[in-house]
Structure 1
Amino acid sequence: MALLSNAVIVSVAVMAILCLLRLNVLLAIIIATLCAGIISQYGQHSMQEMAQSLDAVTLLKESIQNTIQIFIEGMSGNLETALSYILLGSLAVAVSRTHLTIFLLNAITKVISNHRIILLFSIALIACFSQNLIPIHIAFIPILIPPLLGLFNRLKIDRRAVACALTFGLKAPYVTIGVGFGYIFHTTIKKQMEENGVNVSLGDIGNVMWIGGLAMLVGLILAVLVFYRKDRIYAENAESFQVQDASMGYKEWVTLLGLVVAIVVQLQFESLPLGAFLGLMTIILLKGIAWNEIDDIMEGGLKMMAFIAFVMLVAAGYGKVLNAGGDVESLVNMIKLVVNGQFAGAVLMLFVGLLVTMGIGTSFGTIPIITTIYLPLGLALGFSIPSIILLIGIAGALGDAGSPASDSTLGPTSGLNADGQHNHIWDTCIPTFVAYNIPLFIFGVIGALQLS
């Protein structure tokens, strides 16, 4: 019964159920936050007073006000990350208005257009560039994939394999490498661990998260060479998708320079927002973007990234409310009595991470929620700091592949369904879930035990 009255358990369950019922993720997290605040220790105290007071409404109001105050204060923890997302989104839109991706596509397809296996791995490699080297996230998919659908059909490529290749590129680089979106992911882990009393460096995180990247590489190989290797026939659509001719002009070179500036500044100053801002300003000042297009570029960046940024903000606030109420410590103590050994603890922690990430659809937003629980629980179970870093990172990554609300699945579907022959759930979500979540889970458990 104690578990059923714990604010962490109840609020996470509420959030997961609401997400499964397709309520907007942002609203689901806010509702879960209010539930956590009211049920938590200060909320329970208010409820006890309400039972003996004629002014029950006032006491309940104070409880909710306290929750909202802590929630808003907690949101500040992810402000840098949210700003990074907005600026990177604008940078991605700027890149999408050039021929850079088309130029890269033409150069590659001339060499590998008749080799289906090499083509699939090359698509995964190109997708990797969108996270670290040229951080444009999913903006490249509507440009890159529709022109290739005719080629896929001619080679009888199963588009589920393409979906897995794209999801690998959208996810594995930020899990593994602390550059671009990987810098956001690793920094989020670092900051949340510091918020909960343990100081780590970005190097500490990079030293263990390669295990997650290796797990995803195994999943990609299985998807391409085993699960979805057989021929699959698609109908020829009346609409013709052709690869466009493209060349490197002034606009492309300036945009490429802006991307180089963004990466160099990020590495030198360890600030992704500053890097993205200066990269964008380089393109603007050198007239890679026309002055009258700047508003459109910024609005496009907001449309692409603002929702994810706000999900991360409210997720940080939710984590702050969970931590303030004292129920995390209570939950950790209860789980210690139930869990028998590190193996069971690692399995349980990763399973919870899978459920949360599947529900909210973002591994970045999951980190602030689970770190509050995992860090004290991991220490109580005797896990080393590297083991806890790995468990937090992989638990956050689990479920991003396979979640219907994740960019890692929505992006591939947007390109592969350009001719109406690719189902989001059956052809993207389920294949990517099988290909990546199972290896991540296995490697996460084994890695955590070996590092302890």
Structure 2
Amino acid sequence: MLSSVVISVIVMSVLSLLRVNVMFTILIAAVVAGLMEGLSLSESMDMLISGMGGQANTALSYVLLGIFAVMIGYSGITGFLVKRLVSVLNGKRSILLLTIAAVSCLSQNIVPIHIAFIPILIPPLLHLFDKLKIDRRGVASALTFGLEAPYIMIPAGFGLIFHGIIADEMKASGMDIPISSVAHAMFIPGLGMIVGLLVAIFISYRKDREQPFSDQGVMNEVAASQEMELKFSTRHFFTIVAIIGVLIVQLVSSSLALGALTGIILMFLFTVVPYKEGEKVINEGINMMGMIAFVMLVASGYATILKETGAVEELVKSSTGILGESKLIIAVGMLLIGLLITMATGSSFGTIPIIAALFVPICATVGFSPLATAALIGTAGALGDAGSPASDSTLGPTAGLNADGKHHHIWDTCVPTFLHYNIPLFIFGVIAAMVL
């Protein structure tokens, strides 16, 4: 009998590809998983709702960041960035996409704000993307690369947290490995993502893709600013102060929500956004990021059903029991399990503790080295982060690229990132397991 995890992920994937709204897709997949695990319909919904609080902090952070991003757009400061990029990068689409990928990478390590930069940076650039006839699937691929590859390869910021979880969970299961060695183990899988990025930018999405020009709200204001003489004003200065304030508070308090709230308050105090415009700006911010916030809540409830009913542990045990003793088959099997779990939950960090306790004894039994084991566990956890409808690594890029309503979450973000990153990550992960 197929696992409820497998069935529910298949249901989620099929419905997503049929363009069913992602929130309803996850809800239906969660109910299917609950029913298959013996829960009644009401019990499934109760467990889902009880588990939604697991992402409450993240959801609130995203809504507040959306409001702050709209405030920055209201200030007009993004017009300077757009005008400069038009003059410098006109016709240099590949360089622009690589630059976006680099900025995205910085958000994971140097300035660890995760997806907070996307609603600030990307919406004002949509007019430029259309003018250069850039395929937005390439932009989505660049953004997702920067949100995932750094924590896989670089032991700093979110990467240090990810590597620390791998090392701690392996130690708890009886296999010691220094956290510095985890970076060595994840280097080869990370190379797979670099290959995927280069293929996306220089092969898959290098051709022109026509988009009708947008005339919505902030997008229109920023686009028009390209044709105007821009002057630096006190509003722009105070906007920069607010942005710095957000970064400082977020780093000191380790709270993205508190940082975003600080920025909102400062924008009102400095009258960058007049109080009378507050309700309009807040509504626009909620429209931009509210959907992603609620999807994260529902995804947390879905993950709770899979964990509390034992569906994930059952999948891992039943799968590892039939893998035999071939290192190659075991490596492939483990990575497939990781892909299924992360596609369902959308959390690579949360997948590691689930699989490490069961993977480590098997790896030790068949003779995988600690480096190979770390590569398998890390890659299995990261697989599915790109491509999952419930992952913030895909929801974040969509929130920015769909600010004008012309970017589809599944077909323009999830499918491209799944193909360009999960496939090479899978292949390079197997290679790492076999050679380390």
Normalising by structure 1, we get a TM-score of 0.70
Match of 1:14 among 11, 21, 29: 11
The aligned counterpart of 2:118 is 137
* Alignment of structure 1 residues 197-208 onto 2, 5 Å: 207=183
Amino acid at match of 1:16: S
1:378 equivalent in alignment to 2:355:
no
The aligned counterpart of 2:150 is 176
The aligned counterpart of 1:74 is 51
Q: Which runs of 5+ in 2 are unaligned?
A: 174-178, 365-369
1:436 equivalent in alignment to 2:421:
yes
The aligned counterpart of 1:305 is 289
Secondary structure of 1:23's counterpart equals coil
* Alignment of structure 1 residues 20-419 onto 2, 5 Å: 20-40=17-37, 43=38, 63-113=40-90, 115=92, 117-125=94-102, 135-138=116-119, 140-147=121-128, 149-150=130-131, 152=132, 159-160=134-135, 163-173=137-147, 175-176=149-150, 207=183, 214-227=191-204, 243-245=226-228, 246-340=230-324, 341=326, 343-351=328-336, 363=346, 374-382=355-363, 386-387=374-375, 390-400=378-388, 406-407=394-395, 410=398, 414=402
Amino acid at match of 1:98: S
Q: Percent of counterpart pairs with the same letter?
A: 33
Distance in 2 between residues matched to 1:205 and 1:318, nearest whole Å: 33
The answer to whether the 8 A contact 1:138-1:170 is kept is: no
Per-residue CA deviations over 1:209-258 (Å, capped at 9, x if unaligned) read 777765433333333445555x7597999x99773443432222222222
Distance in 2 between residues matched to 1:67 and 1:86, nearest whole Å: 27
**Which deviates the most, 379-388 or 277-286?**
379-388
Distance in 2 between residues matched to 1:130 and 1:103, nearest whole Å: 21
Distance in 2 between residues matched to 1:204 and 1:290, nearest whole Å: 50
Distance in 2 between residues matched to 1:353 and 1:416, nearest whole Å: 34
The answer to whether the 8 A contact 2:9-2:340 is kept is: no
Amino acid at match of 1:337: G
Give the Å deviation of 1:262: 1.6
The answer to whether the 8 A contact 1:86-1:305 is kept is: yes
The answer to whether the 8 A contact 2:151-2:162 is kept is: no
**Which deviates the most, 334-343 or 392-401?**
392-401
Matched pairs, number: 406
Distance in 2 between residues matched to 1:120 and 1:444, nearest whole Å: 26
Secondary structure of 2:19's counterpart equals coil
Amino acid at match of 2:424: P
Give the Å deviation of 1:291: 0.9
Mark the structure with the bigger radius of gyration: 1
Aligned CA distance change for structure 1 residues 277 and 114 (closer, same or farther; 3 Å): same
Aligned CA distance change for structure 1 residues 253 and 167 (closer, same or farther; 3 Å): farther
Distance in 1 between residues matched to 2:53 and 2:403, nearest whole Å: 35
Tell me which of the two structures has the higher relative contact order, counting C-alpha pairs closer than 8 angstroms and 6 or more residues apart.
2
Aligned CA distance change for structure 1 residues 446 and 275 (closer, same or farther; 3 Å): farther
Give the Å deviation of 1:339: 2.0
Distance in 2 between residues matched to 1:82 and 1:345, nearest whole Å: 37
Secondary structure of 1:338's counterpart equals coil
Give the Å deviation of 1:300: 2.0
Normalising by structure 2, we get a TM-score of 0.72
The aligned counterpart of 1:55 is none
Per-residue CA deviations over 1:278-337 (Å, capped at 9, x if unaligned) read 122222222222112222222222222222222222222222222222333332221112
Amino acid at match of 1:286: F
Aligned CA distance change for structure 1 residues 174 and 29 (closer, same or farther; 3 Å): same
Distance in 2 between residues matched to 1:133 and 1:76, nearest whole Å: 23
The aligned counterpart of 2:176 is none
Distance in 2 between residues matched to 1:26 and 1:185, nearest whole Å: 29
Distance in 2 between residues matched to 1:190 and 1:67, nearest whole Å: 33
RMSD of equivalent CA atoms? 4.7
Secondary structure of 1:289's counterpart equals coil
Distance in 2 between residues matched to 1:411 and 1:108, nearest whole Å: 21
Give the Å deviation of 1:97: 1.9
